[in-house]
Amino acid sequence: MTGRRGPFSLDEVYLGDSLELMPGVPSESVDLIVTDPPFAIDFRARKGNYNRAGDRVLNGYCEIDRDDYLAFTTQWMAEAFRILTTSGSVYVFSGWSNLKDILIGLDAAGFTTVNHLIWKYQFGVFTKKKYVTSHYHILFAVRNPKRYTFNKIDHYPEDVWEINREYWKGKVKTPTKLPLQLVQKILRYSSNEGDLVFDPFLGSGTVAVASATLNRRYLGFEIVEDYLRFARARLARITDSPPPV
């Protein structure tokens, strides 16, 4: 594997709008995409949820207007399909509110959905007149349903994963952050050492960090400069760390 993909260096993360940057990624050059895109739910990024203080949450969260969400989703997923290898896969995180747009986008791009995973975390935001949402959906889809990477690392791989959130209490953080353990589990199932893992909505950088710890190559885009700086700092801290056994 070379050290570049088109204009982009591997094992690097870039500042910019993914819809503008993704066309520069060569076709069939990425092995796995793992991403947590904006949810179009008028997310209040600095609200003191999940045992966090709002003044320690980095500002700048870039949301998508609800009326534009399907078009936005369809556009980036079409690019995702193009840049994946013929044996490539995509994992997309989604809340329930606009899950239908994610499903429509996957179908429109040409993906075949293999599994609808549920990530169950320890608790959600307190509610008064509805059930507390304490899970995310993870859509696992592939370009070619007859040929894709799936390492059966568990004898009985269930589609509900109970993994706790990471709170980083008392530390500066981005408003949304996937647990490292969760992303590492995805990478172990759907990629091999040396594969290129891409995240077009990098956020706190967990996908890149997980890739680095498991000897995968990575590439990521992030539109918010403070988030990108946060992700690069995380990557710098783990560069010389040995991979987990």
What span, in angstroms and rounded, lies between the C-alpha atoms of 123 and 133? 8
pLDDT tens digits along 114-159: 999 999 998 777 888 999 888 999 999 999 999 999 999 999 999 9
Question: What is residue 205's predicted lDDT score, i.e. its pLDDT?
Answer: 96
Question: What is residue 202's predicted lDDT score, i.e. its pLDDT?
Answer: 96
48 pLDDT band (50/70/90 cuts)? very low
pLDDT tens digits along 80-94: 999 999 999 999 999
Q: Does a structural domain hold residue 9?
A: yes
Q: Does a structural domain hold residue 244?
A: no
Domain that holds residue 78: 4-238
Q: Does a structural domain hold residue 245?
A: no
Q: Does a structural domain hold residue 84?
A: yes
Q: Does a structural domain hold residue 158?
A: yes
* Mean pLDDT value across the chain: 87
Q: Residue 60 above 50 pLDDT?
A: no
What span, in angstroms and rounded, lies between the C-alpha atoms of 95 and 74? 17
Q: Does a structural domain hold residue 243?
A: no
50 pLDDT band (50/70/90 cuts)? very low
Q: What is the longest distance spanned by two Cα atoms in the chain? A: 54
Classify residue 219 by its DSSP letter: E
- Indicate which CATH number applies to the domain containing 154: 3.40.50.150
pTM: 0.87
Report the candidate in 186, 222, 194 with the shortest Cα–Cα distance to residue 12.
Answer: 222
Question: What is residue 125's predicted lDDT score, i.e. its pLDDT?
Answer: 75
**Backbone dihedral angles phi then psi of residue 104, each to the nearest 5 degrees:** -65, -45
Q: What are the contacts of 120-126 at 24+ separation with CB within 8 A?
A: 120/160, 120/161, 120/162, 120/163, 121/162, 121/163, 121/164, 121/165, 122/164, 122/165, 125/49, 125/50
What span, in angstroms and rounded, lies between the C-alpha atoms of 41 and 47? 14
Q: Residue 36 above 60 pLDDT?
A: yes
Based on the number of CB atoms within 10 Å of its own CB, is 203 exposed (0-12), middle (13-18) or buried (19 or more)?
buried
Which regions of the chain does DSSP assign to beta strands (E)? 4-5, 8-9, 12-15, 30-35, 84-94, 112-120, 135-142, 160-162, 196-199, 217-222
Q: What are the contacts of 45-51 at 24+ separation with CB within 8 A?
A: 45/175, 45/176, 46/175, 49/125, 50/125, 50/165, 50/167, 51/167, 51/169
Q: Does a structural domain hold residue 54?
A: yes
Helix then strand then coil, in percent of the chain rounded to 5, is 30, 25, 45
3-state secondary structure of 151: coil
Count of domains forming the chain: 1
Average pLDDT over residues 5-27: 97
What span, in angstroms and rounded, lies between the C-alpha atoms of 191 and 169? 31
Q: Residue 169 above 60 pLDDT?
A: no
